[in-house]
Amino acid sequence: MRRTAVLPLPVPRKGPTSTSVLAHLALMLYCVLALFPIVMVIMNSFKDRLSIFSAPFALPTPSTFTLDGYRTLADAANFPLFFLNSLVVTLGSLALIVLVSSMAAFALSEYTFRFNTMLALYLSIGIMVPIRLGTVGILNLMVSLHLINTLWALILVYTAQGIPLAVFVLSSFMRGVPRDLKEAARIDGASEYRIYALILPLVRPALGAVTAISMIPIWNDLWFPLLLAPGEQTKTIVLGASAFLGQYVNDYNAVLAALTLAIVPIVALYVVFSRQLVSGITGGALK
């Protein structure tokens, strides 16, 4: 948007060239491929068993519409609880990641002190080395802390997993905040904690980006819920859905309904946050 405004002269728009028609065509084809499984699952979850098999590509009509799958789901497993667990884990981890990472990023970007570079390097190990490789150690740690089958175990693991990238992104944004502002506040006698609180709203886009990129792997993870919190009371939606899908493999109504329930919330969140997400992944290059 801004780019066109900067252009000194309006570029004469040629009619649709063959290149742009081909590009549209290719993009549309790929969009169909990207949406096909999602649409198939959601659409068929509202159809009766007969039409799921006889006419998989047909939209549900009043005569084929049914909520049988969702009913099976409601009877068989506690999906509202699983959903709530996922929400608590995701929001709890995100809040902790944003809080502790912004504090650390502020210290690393604001002050020059001994070990500054060393600490930054130490934190960046976690960007590249996957936390899953420490699973055996994490499991032993959680057992000795009596946190197995609690949501706290997951929140702690996801926070640790999210910190490195969050610190990295936030400190590079915080370096861009003008110095005068902080100096003025210091002259007015503001404490360093006050200055941190002052900076936070200024890096809001970065906080949004960090939230968006950290959110998806947390919500979607299967590995740690499976190992650390497999209990009926602490299952997340992905683990709950995965267990349910394994059990009801042949009940297409139920399976499609479970898949739909797992797909819809995250797609809705994505549509709302896609701008932050895209700018987070691309370091602000795309908006």
Partner 1 sequence: MSLAPPRPARRRPFPLHIVVFLTPALLIYTAVMIYPILASLWLSLNQQTGPGASHFVGLGNYRKLLGTELYALPLWNALKNNLIFFVVHMLAQNPVGLLLAVLLSFKLRGSAIYRTILFMPTVLSVVIVGFAWKLILNPAWGVQRSLLEPLHLQALDLPWLGLPATALGTLSLISVWQNVGIPMLLFLAALVRIPEELYEAARLDGAGAWTVFRRIQLPLILPTVGIVSVLTFVGNFNAFDLVYAVQGALAGPNFASDILGTLFYRTFFGYQLQSGDANMGAAVAGVMLGVILVGLLIYLVAWQRRVTEVEF
Residues 251-270 contacting partner 1, CB under 8 A: 252, 255-256, 259, 262-263, 266-267, 269-270
Supply 102's token pair. 């912004």
Q: Are 156 and 163 in contact (CB under 8 A)?
A: no
DSSP class per residue in 83-136: HHHHHHHHHHHHHHHHHHHHHHHHHHHH---TTHHHHHHHHHHHHHS-GGGGHH
**Residue 177 interacts with partner 1 (CB under 8 A): yes or no:** no
Q: Which listed residue (94, 241, 254, 257) binds partner 1 by CB under 8 A?
A: 241
Write the binding mask 109 to 148 for partner 1: x where contact by CB under 8 A, - elsewhere.
--x-xx----x---x-xx-xxxxxxxxxxx-xx-------
Among 82, 106, 168, 173, the residue binding partner 1 under the rule CB under 8 A is 106
Bridge partner residues of 65 (DSSP): 47
- Can you give the three-state secondary structure of 155-181, one letter per residue? HHHHHHHHHHHHHHHHHHHHCCCCHHH
Distance CA 192, CA 26 (A): 54
Instruction: Indicate whether 74 belongs to the interface with partner 1 (CB under 8 A).
Output: no
Residue with tokens 């992944």: 281
Task: List the interface residues with partner 1, window 9-48 (CB under 8 A).
Answer: 19-20, 23-24, 26-28, 30-31, 33-35, 37-38, 40-41
Comparison of 14 and 62: residue with beta carbon closer to partner 1: 14
By CB under 8 A, is residue 193 in contact with partner 1? yes
Contact call for residue 65 and partner 1 (CB under 8 A): no
At residue 47, φ and ψ (nearest 5 deg) are -110, 155
Examine residue 164 and tell whether it contacts partner 1 (CB under 8 A): yes
CB 71, min distance to partner 1, A: 20
